[in-house]
Structure 1
């Protein structure tokens, strides 16, 4: 922990090498949080980059009141949710969308030569459905699901990250899971094998 304190002090003094060393062990988890909130790797990569920039710019605001990792993941979840709101306000266009020309409509054709085994397709369908369902949750519920069920943080850690009580965290997790189950059960035929009454 002494090494971490020294790295924090050096990073706060503007040392980029210290910052890189300090953030290295957290990068995968930051991307994972971003991916779970964004639902796709392109937006997640942009979000994770934005998180790193925000941490770098605001590292002087870290006062040591909590663990450094707790502060990082608070910045990550809040930044990713802010970015998600920005993306929704300014949607991008899909390659599947037809383009109107003088000769008529055309659509992009991109060949996918990747193998598509049935099991892989089923897993992807479930993963996509869960990501879509998570995206439909409110911000507080989305945060707790991502932090607890997808990232494995303890109730205590989540309470620190979200700056609320453990009881509030447990309550939000319970409501979020219930809401997720309802969303996913809307299409019971597809998910009959994955949910038990």
Structure 2
């Protein structure tokens, strides 16, 4: 990969990678750190990267770093008084975007990533498999299960109103 190809990759894919990571992590600073690290790793290994596969490489690296961040976050436990469930909500949740974000939050990391890559970013099953390290059939099965879980969550009136 040449310097020109790297700069073109940054221009074309930075927003897409950031959006994908932000939807998964739901924290702007962590998402920026992951994206920056992915581009840094890409720069370091640019001599070994085929320019035509730069998008796959970038998303793969960002995906794996996002999983690492999520695993680290799971090890940190918050006291009960600081947990999200303990907060008092003074108004009902009726915004469609918030409902969808809450529905996505119900999925595990793998399912959420697959839904975001397929339905938000528009990747093919094969590309998603290459990014996540899953086979194409695993991607289809996990994505189907995630969509069923989302549907079951979204059809309950108490979750939408």
TM-score, normalization by structure 2: 0.73
CA 1:90–1:55: 2 relative to 1, 3 Å: farther
* Distance (whole Å) between structure 1 residues aligned to residue 43 and residue 153 of structure 2: 37
The partner residue of 1:147 within 96, 99, 117 is 117
* Distance (whole Å) between structure 1 residues aligned to residue 102 and residue 71 of structure 2: 15
Higher RCO (C-alpha under 8 Å, 6+ residues apart): 2
2:60 is the counterpart of 1:74: yes
Q: Which blocks of at least 5 consecutive residues in structure 1 are unaligned?
A: 1-7, 12-16, 98-120, 193-197
For residue 144 of structure 1, report the CA deviation from its aligned partner.
Answer: 0.8
Contact between 2:115 and 2:146, CA under 8 Å: does it hold in 1? yes
2:30 is the counterpart of 1:34: no
TM-score, normalization by structure 1: 0.61
User: Which consecutive aligned stretches of 4+ in structure 1 deviate over 6 angstroms post-superposition?
Assistant: none
Structure 1 counterpart of 2:130:
160
Aligned length: 150
For residue 30 of structure 1, report the CA deviation from its aligned partner.
Answer: 0.8
Q: Which blocks of at least 5 consecutive residues in structure 2 are unaligned?
A: 83-92
CA 1:53–1:87: 2 relative to 1, 3 Å: farther
Task: Give the greater-gyration-radius structure (CA).
Answer: 1
